[in-house]
Amino acid sequence: HGRVAMAAFVGFCVQSNGIVIPGQLTTSGITYADIAAAGGPGDQWDALPTWAKVQIICAVGFLEVIGELSPVIEANGEKHYVKGGKPGYYPPFSGFFNEQYWPHPLPLNLYDPFNFMKNASPEKKAKGLVAEINNGRLAMIGIMGFCAASKVPGSVPGLQFITPYAGEPMGPFSEIDSALPMVTGMLELFKQ
């Protein structure tokens, strides 16, 4: 959760400051700048085409499944965390994953992509783990503060500069996505 929160926190900061990569998001001509022009991060998410949202959710789901697959974890010499393994361990893309599940090699891993920690001492790794856990906790507080401040302006002291968001921050889809199954029902629940 901490790693995801850190990515979300950084993403919120980047999107809030109008940092945009050049180019087109879709073949129909929607650019990243078009999405950024929608407003704050919540509005930008709502402005994404439905299938872009579905792709993002599926990609994150895929990474989650890989991180939970016992055969992948065990092939890397570890156990699943509920079976006595290390909490927070994410299997590398090299080795078993590349050979069994992926049609081409993936050169970088999610954890330590440039092998900076490969030869680190156990003490340095332990210190880094504590720092990562603490940063993750702060990021969780931070991203929820950003969400609260965008939904209820003035609710978080010091975050009055956050762009207000009129949508539903805990609902991944909006009215423009109502062609997807179950979205209409989800939206009705939020109105109650």
Contact 16, 41 (CB under 8 A): yes
Which residues make Cβ contacts (< 8 Å) with residue 106, sequence separation at least 6? Answer: 93, 94, 97, 98
Among the listed ranges 3-17, 149-163, 172-186, which one has the minimum average pLDDT value? 172-186
Q: Which residues pair with 67 in a beta bridge?
A: none
Calculate the alpha carbon distances from 65 to 59, 72, 124, 140 in Å: 10, 10, 29, 22
Binding-site annotation: residue ranges: 132, 135, 137
CA distance 115 to 109: 9
Please indicate whether residue 19 or residue 184 has the higher confidence score (pLDDT).
19
Instruction: Check residue 7 and give its pLDDT.
Output: 93
pTM above 0.75, yes or no: yes
- Report how many domains make up the chain: 1
CA distance 187 to 178: 9
- Determine the structural domain holding residue 15 and report its residue range: 2-191
CA distance 80 to 41: 34
Binding-site annotation: residue ranges for chlorophyll a: 132, 135, 137
